Structure 1
Amino acid sequence: MGYVRLLRRRPVLALWGAQGLSVFGDRLYAMAIMWLAWEKSGAAAMGLVAVAESVPYIVMGTVGRRLMDRFASLRALAAVDASRIVLVALLPVAWNVFGLPAMLALAVAVGAAGALFDPNLGALVPDLVRPSEVQAIYGLTDLTGRIARISGPGAAGVLLAVMPQGALFWLDAATFAVSAGVLARLGRGAHKSAPTGKRPAAPETLGTRLLLRSHPATGAAIGVHGVGIFAQAVSFALPALLAARFHAGAGTYGLILATTGAGALAGNLAAGHVRLPSRLPVVYCAVWAASGLLLAFNGLASNLPVLLALAAASGFLAPFCGITLQTHLAAFPAGPRRRLMSLDLTIIRTAGTASMLVVPAVAAGSPTAGFLTGGLITVAVAGIGAAASWWWTRDTASMRVPQPEPELSRD
């Protein structure tokens, strides 16, 4: 199995383990900060905290290219994680002493650190493996996030029963300490093995706009991602749909979420190993179109077994979206790859923040219409994106960027 083979390499195992722990800590942090905001200042504070963390991603992706480039190494990312140790550990203290303004300021700082860290690490991950293994390594990172999303909230509930709320922040800070140590160690090894010759300057300095003009199918895929994230926010109105149509409550909602999670784990094992076609932007848009169709069918479901089947199918498709796009972007040289990953993160953060402000509330008033509208919009935009990408990638040879085979070590 590809995952097992990759994990036999010490650098991959160390990075995967450290990032898995860090992502798990992030789930504890997310629950803790939202609960703290609710407890101290109510629902409005929860929304402000969510926006405060998202704004730095949007700003950094829009105007922070030069700053982003300064952190394009494992050693620099270790320093970012070191800063997050302090920021996260200070959050509960800052709230108790200075209140909501201090909490929001630290949330912005944590978001800014994440905006520097996430696209840079995503762009560096392919350098740990051979080009033929990029899909599998992104499958591993996708699996990490999905396991954390499933286990994090339950673990947080158990931990809160035996320790104070502030301890969740300290645990998250400890996971950043582990991640910083691993990145610093890997960064020292990468620095020693780096070639001394000059790297080609042209691909590295290529601007984002020129990249998108040169690779319009990639731009279409990233655009579809943003629209899909915006439209999929209607899924937060699922409790309203369950109550209105099936007179079901929290237990049924939890069962559907668990079914979605199980489907996503199964989908990850397939998406990380199945051979993907050469026209990845076309595949990516087509998967989003299928996801939109399933979302629309939620509004038409006649009984709970149908909803559960739709949940399992939607979960199964989700890893194909993430792994397909990441694998496609990894084919670009390091600089353009980083810019495109940053652009994608900026777009989905913008779409996610905007959608959460309006879509769930509107869909809750008429959940059936909300699911149909969100799903059909996704189908239409993704279908157009797939058709356009197919046209732009008729010459598939022009899509491939030659990459040298790196020399890998098991140490």
Structure 2
Amino acid sequence: MKTAEAQRSPLRSWQFRRVVGSEFISSVGNQMTVLALPWFVLMTTDSPSRTGLVFLIQILPVPLLGMPAGLLVARWGPRRVTIVADIGAAVLIAAVPMLHQAGLLSFGLLLTLVALLGSCSACYLSAQRVLVVDVVGSHEGTVTEANALFETATSTARLIGPAVAGVLISQVGALNVLWIDAATFAVSAVLLTGLPRREAPPKPVSANNMIEGVRFLFRDRVLRTISLAALGYGTLMPVVMLSLPVMAKSRYDADPHVAGWLLAAWGGGTALGTLVVARLARRIAPTRMAAGGAAGAAAVLWLLPLDQPALTAALTVGASCMFLPAVTAPATTLITLRPPEELRANVVPVFGVAVFIASPLAYGAAGLLFEHIAVGKVLAGVAAGASLCALVLVNLARRSPDSSS
């Protein structure tokens, strides 16, 4: 007989609706800033290298501070850390237009603000998945569904945010778009203040807890395998992402519309996949779902190296991305639920740090690959790598179908 926790949809919880609403609102604003801030730097400095440096400085704190942020989450709790990070991000983003208008914004000061903003992101990423478990409970199916719905909010924001920012930048300017993003983080913090506090204070934590969290991750066969596969996809999929404009240039007469279609297919496929995962989360064990998603993604990725019309290329990109949430949502569920509660906030950041380190390295390597190797050959290598990841996850599902061993 199913428990009440297993039967209840996360969307029926007002607490989870607030968490998802907070994520969607702040993500839309953040995606607007992803376009507005580089545009502001490029227009004011006329320097692509300085624009790239802003990106680098913003992302560096995430892997560097991921483990200390986990300690903070374990000590303060995910709710408080997320609220403080939202408030900090709102203040830091608002400071950019405020200081610029006052004539006080040097490039060095901008980099400092951006680095602090990246530090807020590190805290937020360490807290968000633990916060989901806090509000929906610890049933695997419920948490997988909640993670999929959470990713739906994020992927939808990735579709809406840049498009809205493009229109607003042309109408009101990049600085005013940053004001809007600051407001979205403030609204996010307000939504989370209504969540109840933990019934019991968190246990004292130290660096030893973080070390034990790393040890647990490597000792547990399921988590070790899931982490290895996730690291593989964190390395491979950025190569696919970077290949899209390269394909548009080399295969489709440098048509920017095709580049836009391919990027839209990426976001649309991911959003659709999260909705499918949310519907299936209670029926399929996480390890089986991850294996199925990995096998589907790998099979479709073998079609991408082929010369084909732009429409079918976009459909192929969308189809491959549609399978990815079936890997990421159950992987996040297992990473969150399998550790003991006292180690949960220490294991989750280790997983996130590994993926965040892999992604920028993959982008850098992909740029070099595409300069010397045809895009089709690189994508064939990606498909082979994805197939190996799928085999690892299929083997895991065969050995522990219920993810409990």
Give yes or no for TM over 0.5. yes
**1:51 corresponds to:** 56
- Equivalent positions of 1:141-180 (< 5 A) are 141-180=150-189
Compared CA separation, residues 315 and 198, structure 1 to 2 (3 A): closer
**Given residue 377 of structure 1, which amino acid in structure 2 is its aligned partner?**
G
1:102 aligns with 2:109: yes
Looking at structure 2, the residues matched to 250 and 197 of structure 1 have their Cα atoms a distance apart, in angstroms, of 52
1:385 aligns with 2:392: yes
1:34 aligns with 2:41: no
Shifted more, 98-107 versus 143-152: the winner is 98-107
Query: Residues 109-168 of structure 1: CA distance to partner in whole angstroms, max 9, x if unpaired?
Result: 111111011221211211212424222221221111111111111111121232131111
Compared CA separation, residues 369 and 276, structure 1 to 2 (3 A): farther
Indicate if the aligned counterparts of 2:229 and 2:393 stay in contact, CA closer than 8 A: no
Indicate if the aligned counterparts of 2:35 and 2:162 stay in contact, CA closer than 8 A: yes
Indicate if the aligned counterparts of 1:228 and 1:288 stay in contact, CA closer than 8 A: no
Indicate if the aligned counterparts of 2:77 and 2:202 stay in contact, CA closer than 8 A: no
Q: Work out which of the residue numbers 335, 343, 358 in structure 1 matches 2:350.
A: 343
Query: Residues 319-344 of structure 1: CA distance to partner in whole angstroms, max 9, x if unpaired?
Result: 21221212222323444332232112
Deviation at 1:106, TM superposition (A): 1.2
Query: Residues 295-351 of structure 1: CA distance to partner in whole angstroms, max 9, x if unpaired?
Result: 342111333343133123113112212212122223234443322321121111111
Indicate if the aligned counterparts of 2:292 and 2:394 stay in contact, CA closer than 8 A: no
Looking at structure 1, the residues matched to 145 and 59 of structure 2 have their Cα atoms a distance apart, in angstroms, of 29
Compared CA separation, residues 13 and 147, structure 1 to 2 (3 A): same
SS where residue 171 of structure 2 aligns? coil
Q: Work out which of the residue numbers 302, 307, 310 in structure 2 matches 1:304.
A: 310
**Given residue 372 of structure 1, which amino acid in structure 2 is its aligned partner?**
A
Query: Residues 280-303 of structure 1: CA distance to partner in whole angstroms, max 9, x if unpaired?
Result: 346425533542443342111333
**1:249 corresponds to:** 255
Query: Residues 222-241 of structure 1: CA distance to partner in whole angstroms, max 9, x if unpaired?
Result: 22222222222222122222
**1:374 corresponds to:** 382
**1:273 corresponds to:** 279
**1:226 corresponds to:** 231
Looking at structure 2, the residues matched to 386 and 197 of structure 1 have their Cα atoms a distance apart, in angstroms, of 34
Q: Work out which of the residue numbers 323, 329, 338 in structure 1 matches 2:329.
A: 323
What is the TM-score with the length of structure 2 in the denominator?
A: 0.85
**Given residue 37 of structure 2, which amino acid in structure 1 is its aligned partner?**
I
1:83 aligns with 2:88: yes
Unaligned runs of at least 5 residues, structure 1: 400-411
Deviation at 1:54, TM superposition (A): 1.7
Query: Residues 233-284 of structure 1: CA distance to partner in whole angstroms, max 9, x if unpaired?
Result: 2221222223323435111222233333333332222111214677634642
Indicate if the aligned counterparts of 1:22 and 1:179 stay in contact, CA closer than 8 A: yes
**Given residue 39 of structure 2, which amino acid in structure 1 is its aligned partner?**
W
Looking at structure 2, the residues matched to 232 and 281 of structure 1 have their Cα atoms a distance apart, in angstroms, of 20
Looking at structure 2, the residues matched to 257 and 338 of structure 1 have their Cα atoms a distance apart, in angstroms, of 33
Shifted more, 145-154 versus 248-257: the winner is 248-257
Compared CA separation, residues 13 and 274, structure 1 to 2 (3 A): same
Looking at structure 2, the residues matched to 112 and 208 of structure 1 have their Cα atoms a distance apart, in angstroms, of 21
Looking at structure 2, the residues matched to 266 and 144 of structure 1 have their Cα atoms a distance apart, in angstroms, of 11
Looking at structure 1, the residues matched to 205 and 111 of structure 2 have their Cα atoms a distance apart, in angstroms, of 42
Q: How many equivalent pairs are there?
A: 391
What is the TM-score with the length of structure 1 in the denominator?
A: 0.84
Indicate if the aligned counterparts of 2:86 and 2:185 stay in contact, CA closer than 8 A: yes
Looking at structure 2, the residues matched to 196 and 355 of structure 1 have their Cα atoms a distance apart, in angstroms, of 40
Looking at structure 1, the residues matched to 317 and 162 of structure 2 have their Cα atoms a distance apart, in angstroms, of 20
Looking at structure 2, the residues matched to 74 and 330 of structure 1 have their Cα atoms a distance apart, in angstroms, of 16
Looking at structure 2, the residues matched to 3 and 29 of structure 1 have their Cα atoms a distance apart, in angstroms, of 39
**Given residue 255 of structure 2, which amino acid in structure 1 is its aligned partner?**
G
Looking at structure 1, the residues matched to 24 and 69 of structure 2 have their Cα atoms a distance apart, in angstroms, of 27
Compared CA separation, residues 395 and 196, structure 1 to 2 (3 A): same
Looking at structure 2, the residues matched to 27 and 397 of structure 1 have their Cα atoms a distance apart, in angstroms, of 35
Compared CA separation, residues 42 and 374, structure 1 to 2 (3 A): farther
**Given residue 27 of structure 1, which amino acid in structure 2 is its aligned partner?**
Q
Looking at structure 2, the residues matched to 294 and 304 of structure 1 have their Cα atoms a distance apart, in angstroms, of 16
Unaligned runs of at least 5 residues, structure 2: 1-5
Looking at structure 2, the residues matched to 5 and 395 of structure 1 have their Cα atoms a distance apart, in angstroms, of 23
Shifted more, 331-340 versus 101-110: the winner is 331-340
SS where residue 77 of structure 2 aligns? coil
